[in-house]
């Protein structure tokens, strides 16, 4: 059928009318932990289908810098004055409801409801950011002489962590031998935070009725309790941060009996200027507050490796600092962080201050046991914090064996505290080595390729010569005295991990 010119004009008008229906303010409510948090989407669609407006979440503000709408479907690019520069969103309206998703995460849609069909006002320009002078060094707290070991809620539970989960994980850590293998910290990540009371004291939300009682419970098990906050006004998940309450929060945590703090940059990028001196000062503020709190609290910086954090992380009181963006439970993510993004940072690691390639994904199901052995071996060679990130309440014996391999843990916890490095690479075959306090070496023969391969560690690459006793740390077996080199057949994405005696 051929449309008349009037028909075409009507069809075009309908399309435009459909597009214009999106114009207005839409809100989404996120509930579930005793707090209701709101997201606002302001859309302004012109006659040509061009989209303007903004998206406000508790932790960020995206200005729409470009976008198109066609009928009820739309996409836009949001730009932040902080954090990852641009994000792409897509969505579709149905009547007075609208679904929004972030590109790359179509599965997670947020439902908005229309609150007004008025054309939204543009956002006022962002307030000027605070610049701070480089701080004087914060005295070392003397903690974390070897990389911290424990468990953290984020990788597996995200927002679903609560008092009961933490208690059950603590029980499991005692029962399944994790505690006795050295995993001592039970760390609550984001989403525990509630509101502040009239005097500004930060309270937990409904998921955590009594933090002091929880700390007592965890301590009675011979474990320690960790918590999470941000130098910004909001955490990454949009909960209350410690901005302008640093000393008060440190005191609150000390009173509860907290032993570890992960301090995550997140919305600090909205209030602080993006320079090294300012970021150092923001972290030093909490470093000083923790020292003054009267309790020994391990201080973990989380700012994704920005602004050469290795150069100053220890000077602001940090015991460890993240080196990259978040790990995912996938081979590509884990191997990229472990093999590609850690080299060159070894000079910053040592007793009391460690590079943190992020928490373990071992047991979360997205990798094979072979890949998880690689994860554990590589993190131990890197002198990385070992923070299990799985549900320890229903861990399989195979996964437990990987997490609690005492010979591999001994490499991670070696008192010399020297981070290992890659000593050779041939295609997908890589050899990493780490000098140990007893004069020996821990060595990993890794195969990053898709097929089984022979990998050889040359003594000259490690810097040794002559005959040395070799032990396989996953087979738990001696391999005799070996001269010159050691070769092994390594499965795809796998490792053979050795201790080479002095
Ligand atoms: C950031 C951190 C994660 C986790 C989440 C919580 O993404 O890098 O490790 O703490 O925030 O919101």
Is 70 exceeded by the pLDDT of residue 416? yes
Instruction: Give the whole-angstrom CA distance, residue 271 versus residue 284.
Output: 16
pLDDT at 17 over 60: no
Q: What is the pLDDT of residue 85?
A: 67
Query: Averaged over 91-98, what is the pLDDT?
Result: 94
Residue 226, pLDDT above cutoff 80: yes
Choice among 275, 326, 369, 472 that is catalytic: 326
Burial class of residue 7 (count of CB atoms within 10 Å of its CB; 0-12, 13-18, 19+)? exposed
Q: What would the two tokens of residue 352 be? A: 């009391």
Give yes or no for residue 263 CB within 6 A of ligand 1: no
Cα 321 to ligand 1 centroid, rounded to whole Å = 13
Mean pLDDT of the 343-361 span = 97
Grouping H, G, I as helix, E, B as strand and the rest as coil, residue 209 is coil
- Choose which residue among 82, 159, 230, 236 to substitute to test ligand 1 binding: the one with the highest number of ligand atoms within 8 A of its C-beta: 236
Confidence of residue 84 (pLDDT cuts 50, 70, 90): low
- Residue of 159, 238, 264 to mutate, ligand 1, most atoms within 8 A of C-beta: 264
Widest CA span of the chain, in angstroms?
91
- Asked whether 189 lines ligand 1 (CB < 6 A), one says yes
- Say whether 326 is catalytic: yes
Looking at ligand 1, which atom is closest to the CA of residue 322?
8
State pLDDT tens for residues 65-74.
999 999 999 9
Read out DSSP for 314-335?
A: TTTT-SEEE-SS---SSHHHHH
Mean pLDDT within 120-140: 93
For the entire predicted model, the pTM comes to 0.90
Ligand 1 binding pocket includes 237 (Cβ within 6 Å): yes
Ligand 1 atom closest to residue 189's alpha carbon, by position in its atom list: 10
Tell whether ligand 1 has an atom less than 6 A from the beta carbon of residue 61: no
Split at pLDDT 50, 70, 90, the class of 368 is: very high
* CA dist., res. 415 & res. 189, Å (int): 28
Confidence bin at 82 (pLDDT 50/70/90): low
Cβ proximity of 349 and 416 under 8 Å: no
Instruction: Decide whether any atom of ligand 1 lies within 6 Å of the 236 Cβ.
Output: yes
Q: Is 387 in the pocket of ligand 1 (CB under 6 A)?
A: no
> For residue 202, how far is its CA from the centre of ligand 1 (angstroms)?
20
Q: How does pLDDT run across 300-342, given as a tens digit for each residue?
A: 999 999 999 999 999 999 999 999 999 999 999 999 999 999 9
Q: Is the CB of 188 under 6 A from ligand 1?
A: no
Question: Does position 4 have pLDDT exceeding 90, yes or no?
Answer: no
pLDDT band (50, 70, 90) for residue 231? very high
Q: What is the pLDDT of residue 32?
A: 67
Q: What spacing in Å lies between the alpha carbon of 293 and ligand 1's midpoint?
A: 25
52: enclosing H helix or E strand? strand 51-56
- Rounded to the nearest 10 degrees, the angle between the axes of helix 276-292 and helix 246-256 is 40
362 φ/ψ angles, rounded to the nearest 5 degrees: -55, 125
Compute the distance from residue 389 Cα to the ligand 1 centre, in Å.
12
């479907």: which residue's tokens?
73
pLDDT in the model for residue 80: 81
Cβ atoms of 228 and 267 within 8 Å: the answer is: no
What number is the average pLDDT over the span 232-252?
A: 96
Q: How confident is the model at residue 8 (pLDDT cuts 50, 70, 90)?
A: very low
Closest protein CA for atom 3 of ligand 1: 326
Would you state the pLDDT for residue 5? Answer: 44
- List all residues 6 or more positions away from 102 whose beta carbon is below 8 Å from its beta carbon: 87, 88, 89, 108
* 473/12 Cα distance (integer angstroms): 70
Confidence of residue 122 (pLDDT cuts 50, 70, 90): confident
Distance (Å, whole) CA 500 – CA 410:
13
Give me the count of residues in the chain. 502
CA–centroid distance, 262 to ligand 1, in Å, is: 9
Give the model confidence (pLDDT) of 444-495 as tens digits: 999 999 999 999 999 999 999 999 999 999 999 999 999 999 999 999 999 9
> In the chain, pLDDT over 90 holds for what percent of residues?
86
Using the predicted structure, report yes or no on whether residue 33 has a pLDDT greater than 80.
Answer: no
Question: Binning pLDDT at 50, 70 and 90, where does residue 83 land?
Answer: low
| Mean pLDDT score, 14-32 | 73
Burial 377-403 (b: 16+ CB within 10 A, else e): bbbbbbbbbbbbbbbbeebeeebbebb
326 lines ligand 1 (CB under 6 A): yes
**What does the mean pLDDT of the chain come to?**
93
pLDDT of residue 384: 98
Indicate if the pLDDT at residue 10 is higher than 60: no
Q: Is 264 close to ligand 1, i.e. is its CB under 6 Å away? A: yes
Q: Which atom of ligand 1 sits closest to the CA of residue 236? A: 12
CB-ligand 1 contact for 361 (6 Å cutoff): no
**Which of 192, 302, 303, 337 has most ligand 1 atoms within 8 Å of CB, for mutation?**
302
């Amino acid at each position: 059928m051929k449309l008349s010119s009037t028909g075409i004009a009507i069809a075009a008008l309908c399309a435009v009318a459909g597009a214009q229906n999106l114009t207005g303010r839409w809100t989404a409510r996120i509930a579930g932990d005793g707090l209701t948090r709101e997201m606002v989407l302001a859309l302004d669609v012109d006659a040509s289908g061009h989209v303007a407006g903004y998206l406000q979440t508790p932790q960020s503000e995206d200005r729409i810098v470009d976008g198109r709408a066609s009928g009820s479907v739309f996409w836009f690019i949001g730009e932040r004055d902080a954090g990852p520069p641009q994000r792409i969103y897509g969505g579709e309206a149905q009547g007075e409801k609208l679904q929004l998703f972030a590109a790359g995460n179509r599965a997670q849609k947020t439902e908005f409801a229309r609150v007004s069909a008025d054309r939204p006002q543009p956002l006022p320009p962002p307030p000027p950011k605070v610049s701070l002078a480089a701080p004087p060094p914060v005295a070392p707290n003397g903690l974390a002489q070897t990389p911290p070991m424990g468990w953290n809620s984020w990788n597996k539970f995200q927002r679903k962590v609560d008092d009961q989960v933490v208690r059950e994980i603590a029980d499991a850590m005692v029962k399944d031998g994790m505690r006795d293998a050295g995993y001592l910290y039970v760390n609550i990540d984001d989403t525990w935070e509630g509101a502040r009371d009239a005097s500004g004291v930060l309270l937990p939300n409904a998921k955590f009725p009594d933090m002091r009682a929880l700390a007592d419970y965890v301590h009675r098990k011979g474990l320690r309790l960790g918590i999470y906050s941000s130098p910004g006004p909001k955490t990454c998940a949009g909960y209350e941060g410690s901005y302008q309450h640093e000393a008060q929060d440190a005191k609150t945590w000390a009173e509860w009996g907290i032993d570890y703090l992960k301090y995550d940059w997140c919305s600090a990028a909205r209030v602080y200027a993006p320079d090294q001196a300012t970021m150092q000062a923001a972290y030093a503020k909490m470093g000083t507050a923790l020292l003054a709190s009267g309790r020994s609290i391990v201080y973990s910086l989380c700012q994704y490796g920005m602004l050469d954090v290795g150069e100053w992380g220890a000077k602001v009181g940090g015991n460890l600092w993240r080196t990259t963006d978040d790990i995912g439970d996938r081979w590509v993510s884990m191997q990229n962080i472990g093999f590609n993004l850690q080299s060159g940072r070894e000079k910053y690691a040592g007793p009391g201050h460690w590079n943190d390639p992020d928490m373990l994904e071992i047991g979360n199901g997205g990798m094979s046991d072979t890949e998880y052995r690689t994860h554990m071996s590589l993190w131990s060679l890197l002198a990385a914090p070992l923070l299990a990130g799985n549900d320890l309440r229903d861990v399989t014996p195979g996964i437990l064996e990987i997490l609690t391999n005492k010979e591999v843990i001994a490499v991670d916890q070696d008192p010399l505290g020297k981070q290992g490095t890659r000593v050779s690479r041939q295609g997908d075959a890589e050899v990493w080595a780490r000098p140990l306090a007893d004069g020996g070496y821990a060595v990993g023969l890794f195969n990053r390729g898709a097929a089984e391969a022979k990998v050889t560690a040359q003594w000259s690459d490690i810097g040794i010569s002559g005959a040395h006793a070799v032990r396989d740390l996953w087979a738990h077996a001696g391999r005799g005295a070996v001269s010159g080199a050691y070769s092994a057949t390594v499965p795809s994405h796998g490792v053979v991990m050795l201790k080479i005696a002095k």
